[in-house]
Structure 1
Amino acid sequence: MNTTTSLTYQLRGVWELDRIGYGAMQLTGPGVWGDAPDRELAKRVLRTAVESGVNFIDTADSYGPHTNEVLIREALSSYYPNIVVATKGGLERTGPNQWPINGHPAHIRQAIDGSLQRLGKDEIQLWQLHRVDPNIPIEESLGPVADAVKAGKILQVGLSEVDIPTIERAEKVVPIVSVQNLYNLAERKWETVVDYTAERGIAFIPWYPLASGPDKLQKRIGALADKYEATPAQVALAWLLRRSPNILLIPGTKSLIHLQENLRAAKIPLSDDDFFSLSV
């Protein structure tokens, strides 16, 4: 495990990213369905994030669906030269909290073109396969992605919720620069993937980074929050930053106050003892 904290990460030598980015999923309706209830506030949150130093924004065509990408274009297109916008495809939406997987090449091709149009971009800087379709070989799902890279529609490619063998299969089709898996203080299923990606120079992007875990863990986090005059969420994010230098955080919020709290997590100097006490 990492014992020092750098606040930036070089994504395969192309961009130097601030390690606390912003995940835009919460800027939708209930169940990640429909547009942001307050679009002007949502735009303000996005702009405030970028004006506060965030240069990595994560979204997906399935958020809304589609409304999140449009919102990002409307709020941030003037900032595009200075930020990286990552999106995802490979899911369909049939209603609130419903996420059928569709890795069919025709759907993936349509998803890429749709994201380009909604984001108002000629090239997607980082496109991620949202989920691997168990009914379609990943090589087939990534075929249109590799074609899009060759055509200049996508610059770099990532995956989500994948194990090491799946990453290795995918890399035979197209280079993989990021993996976005569920990971936080309470959920450590993907420990080996964190270490594998670090060794390979692949970014690891934890989704749901703020889960607090069982009561015992909550008490430890709470005690450290008091010690550092921070919130439990800030301690959880600070631990992730220490966990591995390739971790890029994308905490999401629809609150301007919580946004600023999340960004301040980078300034919490977790001691070695405190870091390891949370790691066991």
Structure 2
Amino acid sequence: MSRVASMRQSMRLEQLRAEVRAIAAGGKDPAAALPFGLEALDGRIAGGGLADAGLHEAAGASCGYSDDAAATLFLAGIAGRRAGERGTVLWVVSRRDLFAPGLALAGLPPERLLIAEAGRDEDVLAVMEEGLRHGALAAVVGEVGRAGLTETRRLQLAAEEGGTMALMLRRWRKADPLAEPSTAITRWRIGPAPSVPLPTAGVGPPCWTIELARQRGGPGFSLITEACDAQGRLALPALSPHRPDQADGGEWRRAA
């Protein structure tokens, strides 16, 4: 067999595999991605956004409650945008501290939310896997303290099979939760950042430091954004070196 014929055969085989994955995912495109709508983020993420049929992880930048809350709302915004107007999000909790009104302010309203309680990490992972394989959910979110390569690989395969986005909130326990190896496509660290000063007296919009600690197919990066709005959207602060109208970053440096 010539080299050209061999290449054509390999390309055809990969095409057939993609078609099989799409059929298994209920006709959903396994290569589809959910963009943030911010070039400062999407332009630096491989694929231009978060893979729809993939596992993505987030953890607080530290073990503090404010960092954990920021990571929770970050995932809520992603899940809310993934659900849109008709989808349902399954959120598997490990403890009863999920605040529904806060999730709604980040773009995930109660009518789009289904909560399941599972005490142990093993139970959370099992429920997540079942939800992902079902294929009818917009996204599945799970809160865990420990999940190794085997567990995350199972979730990734389940996400691909069901064409459903898997979002894992990594809880702090004794050490950095993102230090544990994982097969997740993206891994994020989220923490609060100082609000941009307003021209008048008052408190500016809440801001986050968003760090893409690891991604498949690209380097990591870090930037500051405003927190999710009620539609789950992120925005760049008014004084930001990443905004086209603030390219020199001078005002941002003076405000920092």
Range into which the TM-score falls when normalised by the shorter chain: 0.3 to 0.5
TM-score by length of 1: 0.32
Structure (1/2) with the larger helix percentage: 1
Higher RCO (CA-CA < 8 Å; seq separation 6+): 2
Structure (1/2) with the larger strand percentage: 2
TM-score by length of 2: 0.35
